[in-house]
Structure 1
Amino acid sequence: MPKVTAQGKTFECSTGANLRKVLLENGIDLYNGKAKIINCQGIGTCGTCAVAVEGNVSEANWKDKTRRSLPPHSPTANRRLACQTQVLGDVKVTKFDGFWGQGTQTVWTPQG
């Protein structure tokens, strides 16, 4: 089973599991500020669940690519939408600042 490491926690999930669901089910603070209340609930339209992911995950689908190509995101930034990402192997997740997670300041890392 793949291991996900985020915010100082490591937990297992099934191969192909949705990264957003795995993070939320394990008590990870995925959203910044009011995005905890105002988000698309995982359909890939808001972009507030953007994270940096290291490890084996699915290729970015059209929803992920499209949303990250629109401001305030940048298609060249090392981010993925957690709601559109499947965990295929061990991964480490980092969250950045900004309502959409588009910032440059780290909010949390895999270590904490």
Structure 2
Amino acid sequence: MTGSGDDTVPLTVLDGDERTELAVAPGRNLRRVLLEAGLSPYAAATHRLNCRGRGLCATCGVRIREGPAPEHWHDSVADRFGYPRLSCQVAVDEAMTVELVDKLVWGSREPSPASE
């Protein structure tokens, strides 16, 4: 685990079979934390071509398996319909588990439980 102390919150990042545990200062931006840790939320094509965290391009999507409810309008819609949430619009304020998404540009929709 990176960092220590009571002034951090745990962040678990799942990337395929890899699991990374980070300790993050509360309030940090999830996208920035991921990039600093070498865990890019971007596809190869969008690593350089993105909006730099302004919530406009929807290329930094991750699946939040455990963590805060959506607050940004895009995240609310994405969460409702099973799409990845924008890591640039999420603050790490509580313990979280996020999954990096395999994608060409944007992440695909997860099937709803009713359709399985």
Does residue 38 of structure 2 align to residue 44 of structure 1? no
> Which secondary structure state, in structure 1, belongs to the residue aligned with residue 99 of structure 2?
strand
Whose Rg is larger? Answer: 2
Within the candidate set 37, 54, 68, 2:65 is matched to: 54
Q: Which residue of 2 aligns with 1:97?
A: 102
How many corresponding residue pairs? 99
Q: 2:88 matched to 1:77?
A: no
What SS does the aligned partner of 2:92 have?
Answer: strand
User: What is the alpha-carbon distance in structure 1 between the residues aligned to residue 95 and residue 82 of structure 2?
Assistant: 21
Q: CA RMSD in A?
A: 2.4
Could you tell me whether the CA contact under 8 Å between 2:61 and 2:106 is conserved in 1? Answer: yes
Unpaired runs of 5+ residues, structure 1, are: 69-73, 106-112
Q: Give the structure-2-normalised TM-score.
A: 0.72
Letter in 2 for 1:16: G
For residues 33 and 64 of structure 2, what CA distance do their matches in structure 1 show?
14
Give CA deviations for 1:2-25 in whole Å, capped at 9, x if unaligned.
111113211111112110011111
Match of 1:3 among 4, 10, 17: 10
